[in-house]
Amino acid sequence: MKIKQPKFVKSILHPAEKPVPVLPEFAFVGRSNVGKSSLINTLVNIRHFARVSKKPGKTRTINFFNIDNRCYFVDLPGYGYARASRQEQRVWQKAIEPYLLKNPQLRLLFVLVDAKVGAKESDRQLITWLQYHGVPFQVIATKADQISRSARQKQQHSICTQLNLPSSYPLIFFSAKDRTGRQEVLKIIEAEVTR
């Protein structure tokens, strides 16, 4: 999949505000500071396309990016950030749950976990919730450059165990630094767009 003219479209807090035209959607979610913006920037090959912040919890809206009028990349608010008020967390939850559950355009949700840190309880809860509701997802282990290639198999087993996924689960290791996993993710998106 070659991306030529990606563009930011809009930020929303309610699924009813989604942009037109209607296109397949690929959403990205994970704990705050897991590298969602860096992953999107790497996929579109534009360094500052999606905002990257040193402060966790900066993505507070559902952000839509039009990818060559073929699909949308959707950056969802990060979870697990303690400084967000409970009221803010409820607002996000009210926006995100309907987006995930009542959205025929959503082809796949990419769930990002930190390759070095591993999966946390909030990640496990999300995966359990997605499985219960039948939301299609693919887990990506970000910041893969921070662990050696020889350690990845062990870390894959560890992350799958933490998320209650089978050891044979096709976890994708991704690095914005050395672009590991970029083509793998783009191939999955291309296959879903064209099916």
Domains present along the chain, CATH in parentheses: 6-194 (3.40.50.300)
Of 45-49, 56-60, 78-82, 144-148, give the lowest mean pLDDT range. Answer: 56-60
Whether the predicted pLDDT of 58 surpasses 60: no
Q: How far is CA 105 from CA 46, 47, 95, 146, 171, in A?
A: 25, 27, 16, 34, 24
Residue 170: cis peptide before it, omega within 30 degrees of 0: no
Output the pTM of the full model.
Answer: 0.91
- What is the reported pLDDT for 50? 82
- What is the reported pLDDT for 52? 46
> What percentage of residues in the chain have a pLDDT greater than 70?
89
For 145-185, how does the pLDDT look when each residue is reduced to its tens digit (9 = 90+)? 999 988 999 999 999 999 999 989 999 999 999 999 999 99
Print burial letters for 136-158: b (CB count within 10 Å at least 16), e (below 16).
ebbbbbbbbbebeeeebeebbee
Name, in order, each residue with C-beta under 8 angstroms of 191's C-beta and a sequence gap of 6 or more: none
Q: For the residues 26-34, what does the mean pLDDT come to?
A: 91
Whether the predicted pLDDT of 186 surpasses 90: yes
* Per-residue pLDDT band at 82 (split at 50, 70, 90): very low
Q: How far is CA 22 from CA 36, 69, 104, 193, in A?
A: 23, 10, 10, 13
> What percentage of residues in the chain have a pLDDT greater than 90?
69
Of 28-37, 54-63, 144-153, give the lowest mean pLDDT range. Answer: 54-63
Work out whether the CA dihedral 174, 184, 194, 1 comes out positive or negative. positive
